[in-house]
């Protein structure tokens, strides 16, 4: 039921997200969306672009007087840097056609070379502008609307960083997710642990000094998700598969785990599977959550715990080697304004990606044309599973 598209280039006039399938009657404001846009731009180790842009959303359709209408929602995030790129990135042919030379030098770790081959572009700017992580500003805007829908039904989407550049924090000792999120929001690297945050910041400083970049690992947790979201009956309806795809669609993400993740491969089954208990006052429950809240492709009522690994930013101040697509001559990749580390921001983007997927799954199960109708459907389902 829920569909969305993003459009726009990194140095184009704006980034746009169009959402279709949101029910009517959901309270939402531009200020609510702007909070997540600001969070996406924060984090220790960000580059010069963040000093230029201060992202704000402009809502041009689908919302009136603070409530969704049920019609398509259009969200626009303007690029302030567009002023310096109007001729280079304009839709019309500029008066001076050789205003900028073609970009013919692909950067290692980027989409440049493969994208140029696939779409038959000799100017690699046509690739790098759209493949840029700047696209995620539009996704975060759309994700904020999805988060608002989930929030209305008691579902929270939280994130924090657990590792940067090999400096890790062990989250397993703590299960108070709300307090972890609050602590993460107060950290420059979005890590709830102060000591680990200091080590991460030191590692970022060292990488910057050496002209290098750092990746890391973050966690996304959903609380308040009822049992039964997703399905076991077909491969393409499994919730963990859909959430993993959502995370892998984020630029620079190279690995995803659910619950124990790769840890299950080295742990005996007796210590992996979550035993089931029952009390009349609380129904069925588990004392552990190694499954990460998903069993058989469905949410099981426990918090959904996802983890993703982000590779280091590939644009380095200590340039890597590549080959010019025209001359076929070797060169060292150009040095551009870039982040040293964007893991804290990627965690915010991941919240959006996961929220969009979960909101879609939620609407598929409890869907209706209005919030009031969905509330009725949802209450009926909760009553049904309580009596199971």
Q: Distance from CA of residue 124 to its chain's centroid?
A: 25
d(CA 352, CA 238): 19
Residue 246's H or E segment, with its range, is helix 239-248
Task: Give the tens place of pLDDT for each residue, 126-161.
Answer: 999 999 999 999 999 999 999 999 999 999 999 999
**Residue 5: pLDDT above 70?**
yes
Task: Give the tens place of pLDDT for each residue, 19-39.
Answer: 999 999 999 999 999 999 999
**How many domains does the chain divide into?**
1
Q: Is the dihedral of CA 312, 316, 321, 324 positive or negative?
A: positive
Task: Give the tens place of pLDDT for each residue, 34-69.
Answer: 999 999 999 998 765 555 668 999 999 999 999 999
d(CA 240, CA 257): 9
Residue 118 is predicted with a pLDDT of 98
Task: Give the tens place of pLDDT for each residue, 176-229.
Answer: 899 999 999 999 999 999 999 999 999 999 999 998 999 999 999 999 999 999
pTM: 0.95
Is the separation of the CB atoms in 81 and 10 below 8 Å?
no
- Domain span holding position 85: 3-386
Residue with tokens 């409890």, as numbered in its chain: 366
Look up the CATH number of the domain holding residue 18: 3.60.150.10
Residue 170 is predicted with a pLDDT of 87
């Amino acid at each position: 039921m829920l569909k969305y598209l993003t459009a726009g280039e990194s140095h184009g006039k704006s980034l746009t997200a169009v959402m279709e399938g949101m029910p009517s009657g959901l309270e939402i404001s531009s200020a609510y969306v702007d909070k997540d846009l600001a969070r996406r731009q924060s984090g220790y180790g960000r580059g010069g672009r963040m000093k230029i842009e201060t992202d704000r959303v402009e809502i041009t359709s689908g919302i009136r007087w603070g409530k969704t209408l049920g019609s398509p929602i259009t969200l626009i995030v303007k690029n302030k840097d567009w002023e310096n790129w109007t001729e280079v990135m304009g839709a019309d042919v500029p008066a001076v056609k050789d205003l900028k030379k073609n970009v013919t030098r692909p950067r290692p770790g980027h989409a440049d070379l493969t994208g140029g081959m696939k779409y038959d572009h000799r100017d690699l700017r046509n690739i790098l502008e759209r493949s840029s992580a700047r696209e995620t500003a539009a996704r975060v805007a759309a994700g904020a609307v999805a988060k608002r829908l989930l929030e209305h039904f008691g579902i929270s989407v939280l994130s924090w960083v657990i590792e940067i550049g090999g400096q890790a924090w062990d989250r397993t000792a703590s299960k108070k997710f709300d307090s972890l999120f609050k602590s993460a929001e107060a950290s420059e690297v979005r890590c709830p642990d102060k000591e680990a945050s200091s080590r991460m910041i030191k590692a970022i400083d060292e990488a910057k000094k050496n002209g290098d970049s750092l990746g890391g690992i973050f966690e996304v947790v959903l609380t308040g998700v009822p049992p039964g979201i997703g399905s076991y009956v077909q491969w393409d309806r499994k919730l963990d598969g859909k959430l993993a795809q959502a995370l892998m669609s984020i630029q620079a993400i190279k690995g995803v785990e659910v619950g124990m993740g790769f840890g299950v491969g080295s742990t005996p089954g007796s210590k992996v599977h979550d035993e089931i208990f029952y009390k009349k006052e609380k129904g069925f429950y588990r004392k552990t959550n190694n499954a990460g809240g998903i069993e058989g492709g469905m949410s099981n009522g426990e918090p959904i715990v996802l983890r993703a690994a982000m590779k280091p930013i590939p644009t380095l101040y200590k340039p890597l080697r590549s080959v010019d697509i025209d001359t076929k001559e070797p060169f060292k990749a150009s040095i551009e304004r870039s982040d040293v580390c964007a893991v804290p921001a990627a965690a915010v983007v991941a919240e959006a990606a996961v929220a969009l997927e979960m909101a879609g799954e939620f609407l598929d199960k409890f869907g209706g044309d209005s919030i009031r109708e969905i509330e009725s459907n949802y209450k009926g389902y909760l009553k049904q599973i309580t009596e199971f």
